[in-house]
Structure 1
Amino acid sequence: HGSLPVQSGLRGMQNLKADPERLFTKLENIGKGSFGEVFKGIDSQIQKVVAINIINLEEAEDEIEDIQQEITVLSQCGRCMKDTKVWIIMEYPDGGSTLDLLEPGPLDETQITTILREILKGLDYLHSEKKIHRDVKVANVLLSEHCEVKLADFGMTKRKTFMGTPFWIAPEVIKQSACDSKADICSLGEPPHSKLHPMKVLFLIPKNNPPTLEENYSKPLKEYVEACLNEEPSFRPTAKELLKHKFILRKAKKTSYLTELIDRYKRWKARQSHEDSSSEDSNSEADEKDPKNLENGALQPSDVDRNKMKDIPKRAFSQCLSTIIFPLFAELKKNQACGGNLGSTEELRGAIYPVEEVCPGISDTMVARLVQRLHRYSPSGGETSSH
């Protein structure tokens, strides 16, 4: 289904005996699911970025049934076992979450309704399977580079416990009365109470009247939100019915319309990175002019010329990440397990990938030049160091 975060056809991953650490390179932690941690990763065979959800069955012994439920929901994803851990491999939606896309500014109504239509398709499918998402919110709505809208985090589906994010919880869920798929519909229309503490929100939602859109939005959108937030769950429309709402039918466009939204976020993110970099450069220049730093020998020569970095042409991610660098860090980690600073190794490892994202291929260039330099200054290379 177009709105489900699944990744099929991953080579070797349908074999539960396959070693995921050989097939995938695990990168930085990007979130915590209901039963495990989610990491950004790279498919070592095709150098593709993926999301890896790692669930430790030993630590979650009491929730095996719920974990099986999650794996069933994500049945089309690649998965395999490593010791007591299940690795679930999903596509990495590199367009950002809706929460990210809101950073540069608000969305227009056409963008809102186009995204809502895709979420409703996902909810309609889930509800037809008698499952409840229970945590519909902007951070769980992800977009791919090709403008596909993904409804993420199915770890709470069909659980009987009190779950969800306070800002988006339906009143009946907070009261812990019987709830069904209509709780997801309420969350879809619930604006976040961002200025309030989450615990205060839990008390206010059941007591207060449903919020209304006060800003200059169209009447169809206001009616749509009002329908979603009806206090009586049985009066709320289903996802299938909302797909036929006039707000959706009149305003929604093809998902390609969201291209500008993703591009806007990328431009904003690039500006933020540039501003942060400029700020660091300013601080560095101030440090260079500080006599105390010169006296104390605090300044170190720069190994990388920033301007040269910018001139390196864009290309595929460095092959050496999966063949040399990350395996080397894995060995270092094992060697330090008996008594060493694991944190510093992890920090150094985690610093490499963000640089590779900004300048793909730079790690290959660095390793090639490092090998040349080592050869030049080795005894067999014909030169010796003057030091």
Structure 2
Amino acid sequence: MLKAVIFDMDGVIIDSEPQHARAALRVLNRHDANADYDYCSSFIGSSTKVFTQDIMKRFPLSISLEDLLEEMNLEKKKILKEEGYAIIEGITDLIKKLYHAGIRLAIASSSSPTEIENTVKALHIKKYFTKLISCAHVEHPKPAPDSFLLALKELGVSPQETVVVEDSCFGSQAAKAAGIPCVGYLNPHSGNQDLSAANVLLESFVGIDERFFHNILCRSLGKPVMIADTKRLFIRELEPKDIKEIYQIYKDPDIRQYIPDIDDYLEEEMKKQEAYIKNVYSFYGYGMWGIFSKTSKKLIGKCGIENLEVDGKNEIVLSYLLDTNHWGYGYALECCRAVFTYAKEELDIKRIVAVIDKKNTRSQNTAKNLGMTIEKEIPYKGHDCYLYSIQLD
């Protein structure tokens, strides 16, 4: 269960990395050190102290480490006074949503305690954070895990209850070393950061809420994400243990006549489905999910949306199948409506299509009852089909 989210500050809450780089370059230019922006950005995510230590080794400066560090910090303050704080779009709303959802929040930053304190006060977000952790509070800065381990201790949570948000290579490596799932924020102003240690990459915080972080945590622990809970059904991501039940549904000839790509051998089909479960959910955030009866608790089919090429165009395609014992009771309509709701509210998807065999009158009636309309007739994988579509307004 998600209990806490730990944020980096620079590059995640405020877009400060360009300011820090300009401050460093001003100082280095004054001391005739031939450095560039790429050199400065290579230390994003680490502390100013580590940065200045490298400068002293690399350049022949006639200044002490302590004086250089002081001069660097003064220059950062000067630029901040000139330009103010550049807050990342959507981050304040996200912080408030998480706080009001009962999620404990912390900052674990390579900035100094004073810089962190001044930032949260200036942005009027201090009250939302339980703890403010600086690299000054630990022995080793990022990419060491010390800052995050201290944050876990102060928050009273485990790595299995927490998600980190980072924009830097060092930060994502620190999260991984601490055993905490990490969301890598792709900040274009943070340089060319290697975020391969992150569990998932994110381009914007706009529209994100606690459910997004809950899903990241579930997937990192190998647990299926719950998609919808309807009157008679619940829909969730599939697990490898569900595959044998799915295959039994596939074996029904009434179902196979409309599904062209089912392997005849259980072992081969299981391998394909296991690869699908491992890769597709985490990459897209959606796929084909399992349909379970609330009464029997058993898997009775699959439904969901997938990225497929249809008639030469990339589309988001609705698909479903149900055990024939559950045909004729409105389950298809119930689960597909839940899929549409999830696609619109959680994924912000605007258009969904369905490719339906011209002989499959049951599915055609379901599509019409869902509000989908026929666009045209198309050939699809050796079948004559109708292309249905709907705009999710």
Query: TM-score per shorter chain, which class?
Result: under 0.3
Say which structure is richer in strand.
Answer: 2
Would you tell me which structure has more helix in proportion to its own residues?
Answer: 1
TM-score (norm 1): 0.23
